[in-house]
Amino acid sequence: MSKIDKLRELWAKSRDPEEHEPDPRYVFQLSKKQARMFDEWAAQHRQQHTGAIGGRYEFSFFSTSVGRIIKVTDCLTKEVLDLSCYEDW
C-alpha cells in the first residue's frame, strides 16, 4: 500500500462518525444537584472577564474504589469547589 493510500485510509477513518462517539467509560457528567451547585458558585465569579473563549474553569474527575471525586478550579482565582457526593459513598 502506498503512502497516499495509507493517508486516504486514515482520512476515511477520521471521518467515520462512530470513531468520534464518546466512550461511555470516559464520559463524566454532573448530576442536576451538582450542576446547580456549580452554576451558583460560578455566578459569584462572573464579574471578572476571562476572554473570548472562556476556559476559566477546570473540571477534575478522580475515580476511587469508593466513589468519584469531582472538583472544579477557577483558573483565574485558583478557588476550588468540591462537588463530590460523599454522602452517596
pLDDT of residue 34 exceeding 90? yes
Pick the residue with more confidence: 36 or 18?
36
Helix then strand then coil, in percent of the chain rounded to 5, is 40, 20, 45
Listed in sequence order, the residues at least 6 apart from 76 whose beta carbon sits closer than 8 Å to its beta carbon are 45, 48, 50, 56
Q: What residue has cell string 483565574?
A: 76
Is residue 77 over pLDDT 80? yes
Domain ranges of the chain: 23-88
Average pLDDT over residues 68-83: 93
Say which residue the cell 457528567 belongs to. 29
pLDDT for res 44:
87
Do 49 and 77 meet the contact criterion of CB atoms below 8 Å apart? no
Reported confidence tier of residue 51, pLDDT bands at 50, 70, 90: low
Average pLDDT, the chain: 84
Place of cell 451558583: 40
pLDDT at 60 over 90: yes
Q: What is the pLDDT of residue 81?
A: 97
